[in-house]
Amino acid sequence: MNAFVFPGQGAQFSGMGKDLYENNPQAKELFEKANEILGFRITDIMFEGTADELKQTKVTQPAVFLHSVISAICLGDEFKPAMVAGHSLGELSALTAAGALSFEDGLKLVYARAMAMQKACEVAPSTMAAIVGLDDATIEQICAEVNTEGNVVVPANYNCPGQLVISGNVEAVNAACEKLKAAGAKRALVLPVGGAFHSPLMQPAKDELQAAIEKTEFHTPICPVYQNVDAKAHTDAAEIKQNLIAQLTASVRWTQEVQNMIAAGATEFVECGPGKALQGMIGKIAKGNDAVTARGL
């Protein structure tokens, strides 16, 4: 069984999507439609922009979404997933590729999400940090010890065994990193991000995005969609909506998602979009299981 998976923010690179645009008329039409919907030529930034220009949240999220979804659409009859999933932002790509959202509505929601998150990031200094080489339970315990009413730090992304990203106020994340290193973490690396994604600090963004999601029409997808908040398969449009609303302040349970997809019969994971980050994570999650492979398009 094949599973198509879609990457999140951080997978972007200069030149992304250019080959598709130049060599596939359908892709070109969709990219131009995206420029029209967004009101600016995102393709110019995707194809020729600097790393700094691509790092702007209002650019990054729609850029990764467009590269991912248009890649899937251009597969035509070859896009026959038994199941799909996306990491954080990638969940919207997965839902759109699987037909739960139209291309236009998916892009509009991604842009609304990006702008809402950008605003939330500006409210208070916040960040994220990757913790490598420590078990999840120890990280959860130390986050709980540091986490207070005014100092927020929580597990944000369960990426793969031995790699978990924490998220919160700058001061709380730094304090947690020191404790985690003392507890035996191989690395506790603060990431170059603009805010505390997948933490309670994203509540203003969640409130704003909820209004946009509730106004958007969702459909039954062509296959089960595994969602970040509970790592379970969903096909009911109402459930998908609620999980998508909850996602901004909840942890991304990627390790458990992939494990559940394997348990449901997935043997081949195809990363649809820029980069190879998910292939690396899936390799670590499925370590020792020779029946499972991961590749890009």
Point out the residues that are catalytic: 88, 198
Q: What is the dihedral of CA 65, 70, 72, 76, to 10 degrees?
A: 160
Residue with tokens 């509730």: 214
Structure token digits, residue 285 = 């999650």
As a whole number of Å, the CA-based R_g of the chain is 18
Q: What is the dihedral of CA 192, 249, 187, 292, to 10 degrees?
A: -110
CA end-to-end span of the chain: 16
Q: What is the dihedral of CA 273, 276, 280, 281, to 10 degrees?
A: -40
Residue pair 164/158 in contact by the 8 Å Cβ criterion: yes
Sheet with 293-296: list strands edge to edge.
Answer: 233-234, 225-226, 83-86, 2-6, 268-271, 293-296
Q: What are the CA-CA distances from residue 132 to residues 70, 164, 277, 285 (Å)?
A: 33, 7, 15, 14
Residue pair 102/37 in contact by the 8 Å Cβ criterion: no
Residue pair 63/88 in contact by the 8 Å Cβ criterion: no
Residue pair 131/180 in contact by the 8 Å Cβ criterion: yes
Residue pair 60/274 in contact by the 8 Å Cβ criterion: no
How far is the C-alpha of 274 from the C-alpha of 65, rounded, in Å?
A: 9
